[in-house]
Amino acid sequence: MAHESTLERDFVTLTSFLDPDASITAQPITLRFHASSRTRRYTPDFLVRRSDGRLELVEVKYQADLMASWSRLQPAFAAAKAWASVHTATFHAVTEQEIRGPVLENAKRLLPLRRAPLDPQTAAQAVAIVGQLAAPIFSSALAAMSCDRSVAMATLWRLIARGTLRVDLAAPITLDTPISLT
């Protein structure tokens, strides 16, 4: 996926993680609009088609850049909102405030594990153990597994990455993280 900044890269990573079936298109359209007696152009950063069918036109900006350029961006954003309205979509600008944080850090760690090989028997054992523990946390599930610790750890991480096991993604994942079945 093409991106022009690390913040855009992080947006794509986060979006791909939270909605694996979303379709993300970079610089999907160029809008023409009038501002200050001139015809201007604006190309939003992304068009996201969510797995639930929602369509979002997205501009990714650092908060400081957004604030510094607000008067110049406002007519462009109005054109984007008008386009979105006609196309049954929404338009919004997102900043590092919405993109960066623990969920993104977890996404960076978990995304590569979604397609990593997983032994079905070890995975079934992990799921059964988490389902049986009264107050399951990562370390208790790890300790209860009957395989090598590194295999158990890899299995738990991969099951979290695939959504089979659930954790609070808004916090760093540690050995004390509560874990549950989806």
pLDDT tens for the 182 residues of the chain, in order: 666 799 999 999 999 999 999 999 999 999 999 998 999 999 999 999 999 999 999 999 999 999 999 999 999 999 999 999 999 999 999 999 999 999 999 999 999 999 999 999 999 999 999 999 998 999 999 999 999 999 999 999 999 999 999 999 999 999 999 999 98
Q: Is the pTM value of this prediction over 0.95?
A: no
A 10 A CB-CB count for 86 gives 8
Q: How confident is the model at residue 158, as a pLDDT? A: 98
Cβ burial, residue 14 (10 Å; 0-12/13-18/19+) = buried
The CA–CA distances, whole Å, from 148 to 13, 21, 111, 170 equal: 31, 33, 23, 29
In degrees to the nearest 10, what's the CA dihedral of 1, 48, 62, 94? -160
Domain ranges of the chain: 6-100, 103-181
What is the rounded distance in angstroms from the CA atom of residue 136 to the CA atom of residue 139? 8
CATH architecture of 6-100: 3-Layer(aba) Sandwich (3.40)
> Which stretches within 87-148 are classed as H helix?
96-99, 102-110, 120-132, 138-144
